[in-house]
Homo-oligomer: A and B are copies of this chain.
Amino acid sequence: MPSLDDRYAQLVTALRAQADLTDVIQLLEWDQETVMPAGAIDRRARQIGALAALLHEGQTAPRFLALVDQLSADLPRLAPEQAVDVRETKWRVDRQRRLAPGLVRERSTLHAQARAVWVHARRHNDFATLAPWLKQVVEIERRVAAAIDSSRSAYDVLLEEYEPGTTAAALEQLFGVLRQGLAPLVGRLNARLAAGPLHTDALRGEFSIEAQRRFNRAVAERLGFDFNKGRLDEAEHPFTTCVGDDVRITTRYASNDMRYALYSTVHETGHALYEQGLDSEAWGTPRASACSFGIHESQSRLWENRVARSQAFWQQILPLAYDLFPSLRKQSLHGIVAAANEARPSLIRTEADEITYNLHIVLRFELERALLDGSLEVAALPQVWREKMREYLGIEPSTDRDGVLQDVHWAGGSIGYFPSYALGNLYAAQLVEAAEAEIGSIDALVAAGEFGVLLNWLRTHVHRWGQTFRPADLVRHATGRPPTPAPLLDYLEARLAFLESI
């Protein structure tokens, strides 16, 4: 038998061959979302399908599985970095191998169909058409979870796909504290709103798309995005993808509101900085892969909210903005910052302000968990949605389109994904607190244009670890304590105080 090091090297070779195929699939999808002509969709679906089949073949090849199993048996004898790669590969492979190929196919077909039904249902505000599909999705996700591990609750098993090591019970406790802490903040926000709107029109108006393109590119570059290994393009639903070490972000321009593109760009830049900060020497291995969806979201939300909505950021960026958008000179800094922080309880999660955002997530967590454990029927979703919106945010949607139909996640089979968003906010606040203890006030750094100091801190304490730690351990390693909601609540309280001062 080859030596342990040789077998580990074989593993890396195999993982990199799989990574090459994943990269190509990412390019096919990026191209489809950004530049592909509409008429090319059928052949594109074939191309992606062909590559996905080849990738699956590699990931389930008996030789590969045997290699992973052998290395896994030798885990104690491996060097620490090698052990990370083997441990995480084994964990992923063990989940995959428990799923019968028929179930995998059935599941992905159902997700694709249900997603298409969702597009139609949302457009026509027609929950009744989606309901039977959602029911099927819930059922197949239960089967998938049972196949992976029938000894645990289905929700816990699915949740791990996005946030390894987290449980519904832990989330319930965390989100309970969050709900309790947020309720008075929302009360204060509403009280403040009763006295008048909490925003200005300073960032509305006419902003040429071409000038916005230059502005967004310059902002991404200043924050540290490496255009030598990345691109900024346009897509209907902004996203970040990695074609190997070529990290591509997208945004969407509205000519009458510069916030839309800017905050999409900065959000995706946050994701991209994480990807560009992974250990390039170890590419293709878990050590060089993002830790979790929650940690990923912590990076995007941190740059979007903590950095780019701050007064310090606008102070720093205003000269550039003035050059490209001369009409901005008429606005006060205060007005601009207020516009960047527009806040009010609202119906749509993706447009929610920082104060209310996490309550949208708590609501979804409670509903998806209940769906999966059978305590909530799909048919009852719209009604329960409205009740919870009223309870948490004091408003309720008049249509399902603005309620339960707004997100694609459940129809697309992503049950257990939503908590990542709130965890991202929570991690971000905790990371910033720890960073400030070391490098001083983020606001001061941002005002001085020293974005690199923050980026370096994140690289050192978050990015470069990849999957060396599971998310909660990474947060503990970076901040000295396990994930906790206090920093987020403190931060949001400070944010609200700022808004109240406007």
Shortest distance between the CB of A413 and any CB in chain B (Å) = 25
Q: Is A31 an interface residue (CB 8 A)?
A: yes
How close is A230's CB to chain B, nearest CB, in angstroms? 6
C-alpha spacing A344/B326, complex, angstroms: 51
What's the Cα separation between A368 and B47 when bound, in Å?
Answer: 39
What is the count of identical protomers in the complex? 2
Asked if A366 is an interface residue, CB under 8 A from chain B, the answer is: no
> Does residue A243 face the partner (Cβ distance < 8 Å to B)?
yes
- Chain B's nearest CB lies how many Å from the CB of A186? 43
- A227: interface (CB < 8 Å): yes
Q: Are B21 and A50 in contact (CB under 8 A)?
A: yes
Contact string, A26-63, partner B, CB cutoff 8 A, digits 1/0?
01100100011111100110110011001000000000
Interface size on A, residues (CB 8 A): 32
Across the interface, name the chain B residue whose C-beta is closest to A246: B40
How long is the Cα–Cα vector from A27 to B30 in the complex, in angstroms?
11
Q: List 22 A-B contacts (CB under 8 A).
A: A20-B43, A20-B47, A21-B50, A24-B24, A27-B28, A27-B31, A27-B47, A31-B31, A31-B243, A35-B231, A37-B227, A37-B229, A39-B245, A39-B246, A40-B244, A40-B246, A43-B244, A43-B246, A43-B283, A44-B244, A44-B246, A46-B244
A219-250 interface code vs B (CB 8 A; 1 in, 0 out):
00000001111110000000000011110000
Kindly identify which residue among B24, B37, B226, B231 contacts A51, using a CB–CB cutoff of 8 Å: B24
Chain B contacts of A69 at CB under 8 A?
none
- Do A20 and B50 have beta carbons less than 8 Å apart? yes
Min Cβ gap A55→B in Å is 11
Give 17 A-B pairs besides A27-B47, A40-B246 with Cβ atoms closer than 8 angstroms: A17-B50, A20-B47, A24-B24, A24-B28, A24-B51, A27-B27, A27-B28, A36-B246, A37-B228, A39-B228, A39-B245, A40-B244, A40-B245, A43-B244, A43-B283, A44-B246, A46-B244
